Amino acid sequence: MIKLYGSGISSSVSKVRYCLNYLNLKYDWEQTNPMANETRTQEFLTISPTGKIPAIDIDGFKLFESCSINRYLATINNSSIYPQDAKKKAIIDAWTDYVAVHVANAMGRVLYNRVFAPMTGQKVDPESLRVGLEFLDKYFPVLDKQLFANAYLAGREFSLADMNLLSVLDPCELAEISIDRFPSLKKWRAGLKSQPFYQKCYRDYTEFVQEAMSAKAGQ
């Protein structure tokens, strides 16, 4: 049995849900809200010692960190999205790491300062916001160039690298980040958002978050 721990508004949790859906794996979803300190309980910390989501329990095997979870899921299911060939795997890892380390960090700066800080009454850091936007202006052209030359991020075949980038870009509209200047990146994203593995999560991430926030405000 697979049990996934996380919140629906977390794009990192969505990344794992994309993989589970793509692999047609059934799972139980344990809604876990960090804002309610549900990731700080002793029980949860035995699953994810960092107190972060997502985390997963597969028949007693516990794992945290979304990219590691997806690599494991793809490997044990012998999926082409993370092939056995060492060179293909290395290219997928390289693009996954590039997105996770650089793009996601910059996106996080913008998302926090434009959305989550105002939402939770925290202080906005204009310098952090500026740096985040500046970095995205450097990183998006690299992605656009790669997707102009290739159908997918790691080459001709869809892989975990695409799944990772798709989830990282989910908050673009919510954070008022436009990718209109990057036509290859925009086309690639639109194509993947229409796929069943994405649509099983939500029609659109921004609509989902806005509906969730409205429902909470109405309680």
What CATH code is carried by the domain that includes residue 93?
1.20.1050.10
pTM: 0.93
Please check whether residue 154 lies inside any domain of the structure: yes
Asked whether 64 and 54 are in contact (CB, 8 A), the reply is yes
Q: Last residue of some domain: 47, 76, 105?
A: 76
**Bigger pLDDT: 100 or 211?**
100
Could you read off the pLDDT of 102-111 as tens digits, one per residue? 999 999 999 9
178 and 115 within one domain: yes
109-114 contact pairs (CB < 8 A, 24+): 109/135, 110/136, 110/175, 110/177, 111/171, 111/174, 111/175, 114/175, 114/176
207 and 100 within one domain: yes
pLDDT at 8: 87
Range of the structural domain that residue 7 is part of? 2-76
111-115 contact pairs (CB < 8 A, 24+): 111/171, 111/174, 111/175, 114/175, 114/176, 115/171, 115/174, 115/175
95 and 68 within one domain: no
Q: Write the CATH number for 16.
A: 3.40.30.10
Could you read off the pLDDT of 29-48 as tens digits, one per residue? 999 988 889 999 999 999 99
Residue 180, pLDDT > 70, answer yes
Give the closest residue to 190 by CA, choosing from 204, 200, 177, 201: 204
Could you read off the pLDDT of 130-163 as tens digits, one per residue? 999 999 999 999 999 999 999 999 999 999 999 9
| 3 state SS for 21-32 | HHCCCCCEEEEC
pLDDT at 208: 83
- For 152, the token pair is 């997918």
In the chain, how many domains are there? 2
108 and 50 within one domain: no
35 and 97 within one domain: no
Please check whether residue 153 lies inside any domain of the structure: yes
